[in-house]
Amino acid sequence: MIKISKVTPKDIPALLAMIRQLCAFHSHTCVMGLADTQAQFIDGPLTGFIAHQDGRPVGYAAIEPHWRPMHRGPLHDIAHLFVEEAMRGRGVAKALIKAAQAHARQSGAYRLVIGTSPVNPGAAAAYRAMGLAEITTQPGPRFEIAMDAKRKVD
C-alpha cells in the first residue's frame, strides 16, 4: 500500500536521493545538498510530499506557491514529481497529485498546475490518462488540476 505524507526533516536524505535521480533523468547536475534541501522543504517556500511503499520512499512531489496580485489565493505549481521507475504505473503519481490537490485547497490556492519536459512524453501521457486538463496557451506540456472540491484526480 502506498502511503503519502508531508516531508519531514527525517525524510530529507531520501528526498535528496530522489531529487538527484530526477536531475540525472534530465541530464542535469544536482548541486543541492542536505542543508539546501532542508532549507527549501522544511524552512523554506516548498511543500513536499513523499510516497512510501512498505516503508521505503518511492516518490515525491514538490509544490511551489506563486503569488499573483490579481487573485485572492496563490497559484500552486507541482514543480517536481518523481516516481522510481520500478513503481511507475502503480498509482504513486496519482496519490502524490491528490495530496498536492488537497494541500492546495486547504491553503486557499486558486489554481494548481503541473508541467513536464517535452522530452518526457510518458509523464504527459500519464497526466492525460488521469484526466488532467491540458493548458494549450502556454509552452508545455502543462496541465491544470481541478480545485473544485467535488472533482478528484481520476
Cα–Cα distances in angstroms (integers) from residue 89 to residues 98, 122, 125, 136, in the given order: 15, 10, 11, 25
Pick the closest to residue 8 from 44, 55, 48 (CA basis): 48
Q: What is the pTM of this model?
A: 0.87
| pLDDT tens-digit profile, the chain (154 residues) | 899 999 999 999 999 999 999 999 888 999 999 999 999 999 989 999 999 999 999 999 999 998 777 767 778 999 999 999 999 999 999 999 999 999 998 988 888 888 888 888 888 888 888 888 888 887 778 888 877 655 555 4
Which class does domain 2-145 fall in? alpha beta
Output phi, psi for 75, to 5 deg. -85, 135
Strand partners, 105: none
Helix axes 34-41, 12-25, angle to 10 degrees: 100
Angle at 148 between CA 126 and CA 76, to 5 degrees: 65
Please report, for the chain, the start and end positions of each structural domain, with discontinuous segments joined by +: 2-145
